[in-house]
Amino acid sequence: MCAYPVLIAIGALFAYKYTAKNTKLTVENVNSTYDYIIIGAGSARCVLAARLSEDPNNRVLLLEAGGEETDNANISIPAAALSVWNTLSDWIYSATQQRNSGFAQIGDENRHYWPRGKGIGGSNNLNIMQYVRGSRYDYDEWEDQGCDGWGYDDVLPYFLKSEDIRIDDLKNSRFHNSGGSLAVIKDTVFFLFGIVLLMEERSWIGFGGSQVNVREGARGSTAAQFLRPSMGRSNLHVVVNAHVTTVVIDNKVATGVAFIKDNRKQIVSAVVVDLPVGQNMENHIYSFIPATMNTSEGLTGPKVESLSSIGQYLIFGTGPLSTTGLVGTAFIKSSKCKTKYPEIQCHLLATLLIQELAKYSEK
């Protein structure tokens, strides 16, 4: 039985329930000038737009190439994460042909499929919702390389400001905080293993239960938790289906952007700040190792599609549909590792995701 039609129907209802009060807040026409123009309404820039527009004196424009995340009902359902891949909410990139990796990729020869989110929410709409901060070493290394103000002790207050920890054991930890916009929970739908919590919070090395961004059973994206609640502000204009094509350069200074919307090119100007961004982009490769377990626990199609599951989700926002399937996480430093921080990340997914991945791979 295919889970998608059921998931889509539930998603439509749930997305409506969750976002209806905040829809229709995008604008069609832009002003000629703003204080800040933000290109792309992805994970980071939803937060940026929300924070900048907290000051009513800032006029902020957010231009997004894709549509509204509410167009794809499955985005809000944690258990349906993989069904968002390879849809209109995904740029559907593939990497260049590789000589030494990508052998297990289905389809094009040795090219990694490279999902990237398109639309309000960006890649946050198709990710697995795991909440992972970088390790202390990541930030301290940035600072050592000249990024003053980006060391771990500098960024920690901002993590704390954003966080709304909903894991009882961590509520009194000095590394966590309550009351921020970003809900962090432990996915408790399936307790498959008695995972030993060895994670050491300072070094991020060891094994632990996964922390995920889910709020009241819905994907806790930065779009839902930061941008949407800010979209009623008169000083924040959010435009969708607006593909930025050019940064306008005047006498070697960026003064605005050109974008295409409804087949029409428009130019909008901004206050000038020179920030070299986007350099040294890196990504990690991943590989799935599927395993079948002799247990009735886990996220199976019949369990997800059962009437009790659907009812539980619609009424309480809990149950199998509210789970990401992420059970455990490990950060490991191999004997070959030359850095202070771990270089291998493992995730234990007890989930429909693997089954859906198999379907996806067969396409």
Ligand X SMILES: Cc1cc2nc3c(=O)[nH]c(=O)nc-3n(C[C@H](O)[C@H](O)[C@H](O)COP(=O)(O)OP(=O)(O)OC[C@H]3O[C@@H](n4cnc5c(N)ncnc54)[C@H](O)[C@@H]3O)c2cc1C
Residues that bind ligand X (CB under 6 A): 39-45, 63-66, 115-119, 122-124, 126-130, 132, 243-244
Residue 93 CB, shortest distance to ligand X, in Å, is 10
CA atoms of 269 and 258, how far apart (whole Å) = 9
> Would you tell me how many other CB atoms lie within 10 Å of the CB of residue 168?
8
CA atoms of 146 and 90, how far apart (whole Å) = 35
- Is the CB of 207 or the CB of 360 nearer to ligand X? 360
Residue 130 CB, shortest distance to ligand X, in Å, is 3
With a CB cutoff of 8 Å and minimum separation 6, the contacts of 289 are none
3-state secondary structure of 158: helix
CA atoms of 344 and 346, how far apart (whole Å) = 7
Q: State which residue has the least CB distance to ligand X.
A: 42
Residue 335 CB, shortest distance to ligand X, in Å, is 27
- Is the CB of 186 or the CB of 310 nearer to ligand X? 186
Residue 1 CB, shortest distance to ligand X, in Å, is 25
Q: How far is CA 143 from CA 22, 149, 153, 215, in A?
A: 39, 7, 10, 33
- Is the CB of 44 or the CB of 95 nearer to ligand X? 44
On whether the CB atoms of residues 36 and 57 are closer than 8 A, the answer is no
Bridge partners of 215?
Answer: 218
- Is the CB of 64 or the CB of 141 nearer to ligand X? 64
Type and span of the H or E element at 186: strand 182-186
- Is the CB of 17 or the CB of 51 nearer to ligand X? 51
> Would you tell me how many other CB atoms lie within 10 Å of the CB of residue 61?
26
- Is the CB of 260 or the CB of 314 nearer to ligand X? 260
On whether the CB atoms of residues 310 and 10 are closer than 8 A, the answer is yes
- Is the CB of 91 or the CB of 207 nearer to ligand X? 91
Residue 221 CB, shortest distance to ligand X, in Å, is 9
CA atoms of 337 and 77, how far apart (whole Å) = 37
Residue 39 CB, shortest distance to ligand X, in Å, is 5
Residue 2 CB, shortest distance to ligand X, in Å, is 21
